[in-house]
């Protein structure tokens, strides 16, 4: 098992209400960027369904310099309808699923696993909310 010390939360940077899947993101990453697979380990759909992305035993491709010891979770959304303004667009279902997934992953990988947003490691708004603050109770 990989040594995990971080869970990094992302958004897909898609318009509020735009329904896409992990398969769509995988296509963007593989066909558009030439990667071997989707960069995230999990993708949370608008209805809260959790889709598995990259196998958890493999390092992700979601946060430059942080992939080896982290798990990447992406929720669908993160941008206003205008397609460019960052916004926390998580549905109630996504919020519940994200919280439950983080709790489950911490129970597997240990209490020392820290929660971060992509923005903690990059000059980006992603995931369009402060994940470290929001999930500090976990």
Q: What amino acid positions are annotated as catalytic residues?
A: 10, 40, 118, 124, 126
Is residue 137 within 8 A of residue 81, CB to CB? The reply is: no
* Best CA proximity match to 96, nearest among 44, 133, 52: 44
**Cβ-contact 127, 10 below 8 angstroms:** yes
Report the C-alpha gap between 116 and 131 in whole angstroms. Answer: 6
From CA 133, how far away is CA 129, in angstroms rounded? 9
User: What residues form DSSP beta bridges with 86?
Assistant: 79
Peptide bond into 97 cis (omega under 30): no
Residue listed under structure tokens 């303004």: 85
């Amino acid at each position: 098992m990989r040594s995990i010390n971080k869970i990094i939360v992302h958004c897909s940077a898609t318009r509020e209400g735009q329904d896409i899947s992990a398969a769509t993101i995988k296509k963007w990453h593989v066909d558009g960027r030439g990667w071997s697979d989707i960069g995230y380990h999990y993708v949370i759909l608008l209805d809260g369904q959790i889709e598995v992305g990259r196998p958890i035993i493999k390092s992700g491709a979601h946060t430059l310099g942080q992939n080896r010891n982290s798990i990447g979770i992406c929720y669908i959304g993160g941008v206003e309808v205008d397609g460019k303004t960052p916004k926390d667009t998580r549905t109630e279902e996504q919020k519940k699923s994200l919280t439950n997934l983080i709790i489950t992953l911490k129970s597997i990988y240990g209490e020392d696993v820290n929660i971060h947003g992509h923005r903690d490691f990059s000059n980006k708004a992603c995931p369009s909310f402060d994940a470290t603050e929001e999930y500090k109770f976990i």
